[in-house]
Amino acid sequence: MRTSLWLPVALVFHACQYDPYAHTFTTEKPKAGSVVGRYELQDQTIVSGGPSVMQGRSCVVVLAADGPFTAPNVPPFEFGAPPISSLDSLVSGSGTWRLESVGSIDSGFGEPKTHWGVRLGSLDHPLAFAGFTGDKAPYGLIFTIGDPDTGTVMILKTGVRK
């Protein structure tokens, strides 16, 4: 009898999925000035090999104080499209950035928290969305690719030197 009770409980916990990076997400809205800066690739899990597989291509996001950004080699925003599966799918662009909600985190107890991030590009033509990581400046950036539960990401930090 005891074994039969544990099976449904185990299935419920196994079925619940969770973004493996959710604990790093910024949930208090940062001031725009505190996110200005240069973010460089620290790690990626799109393909095996980490940052070294970029083969000299830089992945840097620069957020300027007066609104412009530059971003070479970032994951594209394609609503409803399958997630990228190779580094050849990365895009580059420039334009304006905007601080905004990029999702939420729910602990399962009914009080979701906003995940703050940045939209790169206009509302009509976004290049990409990235979430901020960390509790305070200097923040990091995380691009989540596809289903967040898979842990497929590109992680950028300030002050990274290769």
> Which of 29, 24, 49, 38 has its CA nearest to residue 148?
24
Distance CA 43, CA 156 (A): 7
Handedness of CA 157, 84, 57, 49 (dihedral sign): positive
**In tens digits, what is the pLDDT along the chain, a chain of 162 residues?**
444 444 333 333 334 557 899 999 999 999 999 999 999 999 999 888 888 888 788 999 999 999 999 999 998 886 655 566 678 888 999 999 999 999 998 877 778 999 999 999 988 888 889 999 999 999 999 999 888 888 989 999 996 544
Of the candidates 144, 158, 161, the residue with the CA atom closest to the CA atom of residue 21? 144
Cα atoms in the Cβ-side hemisphere of radius 13 Å centred on 20: 9
Which of helix, strand or coil describes residue 3?
helix
Whether the Cβ atoms of residue 44 and residue 58 lie closer than 8 Å to each other: no
The pLDDT assigned to 130 comes to: 95
Single-letter amino acid code for the residue at 143: F
